[in-house]
Amino acid sequence: MKVDQDHISKKKKDAQNEGDISGLGELLARYLNFSSDNAPGDESRFKPVPKIEKLRILSFLKPIPWFLTGLFLFSFYWDFPGRSLTVWGLELHFDGILRIVSVSGMIGFLTNWIAITMLFRPLKKRPLLGQGLIPAHKERIAYRLAHAVSEDLINPKLINEKIRESEAISRYRKFTLLHLQRITRKEEFRQDLKNWLVSYVKAQIQNHEFRTRMADYILLELEEALQDKALEKAALKTYSFFRGQSLREFIEDLLQHIPVSAERNIQYVEEYLDELPERINNNSEKLDEVILQVLNRLVNQLNVHELVEENLRRYDEQKLETMIRNATNEQLKTIQYLGALLGTIGGFVIWEPVLSMSVLVLLFGSIYLIDRLYFERSTKNPTV
């Protein structure tokens, strides 16, 4: 039965202390309201996701498959029958060129379309069609991506370097200090804080267990302090004898007068609040270092690899496909339609290999030289 009573008493004490602390938390939360509008530096906020600009070349490539389909159908009606032309001694036969070029272009488009589709589909493993490359290797992709992120992108060393470079701790400390100065100057906050302190002291002193514990602590300190001082110890016992109280009762009686003393001397809180910002400012470097050490411990305890891998594993095949397509959809479509263009060029090579290859080498060589010229010029003069 005694165990149950002790357990109930402990529960009551914990609830009382929790209520007192929560009262302080509510007080601080009411006044220390850090508005995001007043946060230091816009660079500390999350930047919006950049919009993916549509590739201009895509608008020119999209009609090619439709044009090739129409050209293929037209080739059944007419395809340069018996037509030829001699250029620089080279005889060119145009008979069947439309069908060759259109079929090659459509094959290029379809092969790229199939290749891109096979990256994602089928989502689930099928008996004959198998499964898409990305869904089939989702676990491996999650592991590799998590490894790359944790080792190269978001590792503790890099995070610590960025924190130091950004000076975010000092900026937020200065911002917090200014905010704290504004709050501590408010008469309403000071009065509420003093009321809470007095209430807290009263609540603790009224707790018999607290008074007993404090009396034991003071008695122990007195015994250690008067251990080699027999005269002072005798005088203290004589004083207790004439008062008709034991030393413990005398100490507990004094403790009950603490709330009254606290109310009389509560004005010292205002002096402390006046000195608080200056004290913080004088120890700013030490404070920044302590905060940095705390952040370092938090970062070192965070397993980025496990976090990224676990979240990627939760993605189902459809969500994974949507995520990748949202980021690369324009580029994938461009690759798909480029297949039609490259297939068409391949058709000309099939029709007349020597002439077509000569023209292609000249064309692509010129494009490469012009591109390199502009690149070197822009590197030397970035404003161009």
Please give the Cα distance from 280 to 174 (Å, whole number). 10
For residue 87, list its beta bridge partners: 90
At 72, is the pLDDT very low, low, confident or very high (cuts 50, 70, 90)? Answer: very high
At 44, is the pLDDT very low, low, confident or very high (cuts 50, 70, 90)? Answer: very low
Q: What is the pLDDT of residue 110?
A: 94
Host H or E run for residue 90:
strand 90-93
Q: Are 64 and 340 in contact (CB under 8 A)?
A: yes
Q: What is the pLDDT of residue 73?
A: 93
Q: What is the pLDDT of residue 113?
A: 93
When mean pLDDT is compared over 68-72, 121-125, 135-139, the highest value belongs to 68-72
Please give the Cα distance from 298 to 321 (Å, whole number). 33
Q: What is the pLDDT of residue 240?
A: 63
Please give the Cα distance from 273 to 283 (Å, whole number). 16
* 198-239 pLDDT per residue, tens: 787 777 777 778 777 877 777 777 777 667 666 666 666 676
At 51, is the pLDDT very low, low, confident or very high (cuts 50, 70, 90)? Answer: low
What residues have CB less than 8 Å from 253, skipping those under 6 apart?
Answer: 245
Q: What is the pLDDT of residue 343?
A: 92
Q: Residue 7: is its pLDDT beyond 70?
A: no
Q: Where are the alpha helices (DSSP H) in 137-283?
A: 138-148, 156-166, 168-184, 187-205, 208-225, 230-243, 247-255, 258-264, 268-282
- Dihedral sign, Cα of residue 90, residue 91, residue 93, residue 98: positive
Instruction: Enumerate the domain spans of the chain.
Output: 1-31
Average pLDDT over residues 27-40: 61
Task: Say if strands 84-87 and 90-93 run parallel, antiparallel, or are unpaired.
Answer: antiparallel
Q: What is the pLDDT of residue 112?
A: 93
Q: What is the pLDDT of residue 215?
A: 75
Q: What is the pLDDT of residue 327?
A: 78
Of 229 and 319, which is predicted with more confidence? 319
